Chain A
């Protein structure tokens, strides 16, 4: 079963615009992670936010976490064509088992 569910399922934007993806989960967590997957490749870790953190930045990425609502958002600012990929949230609600959501497909048009 999938712990995290991303929204929207797909997102298409113009280069330079911001992209926001959301993730909702069901059980309490220690941390939440975001990964990117380019077509035909393995997943690449982007950022980890712990349950006692509310916001975290990494370059053009900004992640927020609201444990009361069991939700997180990933913001990519000033998007580039190279940001085109699928983005997944993952939660550790089941101990050491990291469970992934269904993902958001992001397309950045140049």
Chain B
């Protein structure tokens, strides 16, 4: 298996532009998580899905952030409009829940810079 695949690897955009981050989870995994990592705040859970359904989006910072999972093999995180404070590394992770909270498999992340 190729693991969790994220794209793009790097994204540089200007304030006010729309940004879309993409994630392909590991086949067969039924949980998908979006995390954001910054030096100041560490790793923050933004939202997670179970069987393509958003379960908890309480970590989404503002209405400018939205996430979708149209099918089991694809998810997007969209920021519109983007702001400089959104600059961070965004990670997608997936897992199989076998009755406990099992280990997460992380993608390589998207380094987002909003100028």
B and A form one assembly: yes
Known: A42-B91, A43-B106. A99 touches B45 (CB 8 A): yes
Q: Are A102 and B42 in contact (CB under 8 A)?
A: yes
Q: Are B43 and A88 in contact (CB under 8 A)?
A: yes
Q: How many A-B residue pairs have CB under 8 A?
A: 53
Partner of B102, one of A42, A43, A48, A101: A48
B positions within 8 Å CB-CB of A: 4, 31, 33, 35, 42-43, 45, 48, 50, 55-56, 91, 93, 97, 100-109
Known: A97-B56, A98-B33. A44 touches B100 (CB 8 A): no
Chain A residue numbers with a CB within 8 Å of B97 are 96
Distance in angstroms from A46 CB to nearest chain B CB is 9
A sample of 19 inter-chain contacts (CB < 8 A) reads: A31-B100, A33-B103, A41-B108, A41-B109, A42-B107, A42-B109, A43-B93, A44-B106, A45-B103, A48-B102, A96-B31, A96-B50, A96-B55, A96-B97, A96-B101, A98-B45, A100-B35, A100-B42, A100-B43
Task: State A98–B31 Cα separation when bound (angstroms).
Answer: 12
The SS class assigned to the A binding surface is strand
- Is A54 among interface residues, defined by CB-CB distance under 8 A? no
Chain B residue numbers with a CB within 8 Å of A41 are 108-109
Q: Are B91 and A30 in contact (CB under 8 A)?
A: no
Q: Are B100 and A101 in contact (CB under 8 A)?
A: no
Known: A97-B45, A98-B45. A92 touches B101 (CB 8 A): yes
User: Could you mark each residue 62-103 of chain A with 1 if its beta carbon is under 8 Å from any beta carbon of chain B, else 0?
Assistant: 000000000000000000000000001010100011111111
Chain B residue numbers with a CB within 8 Å of A26 are none
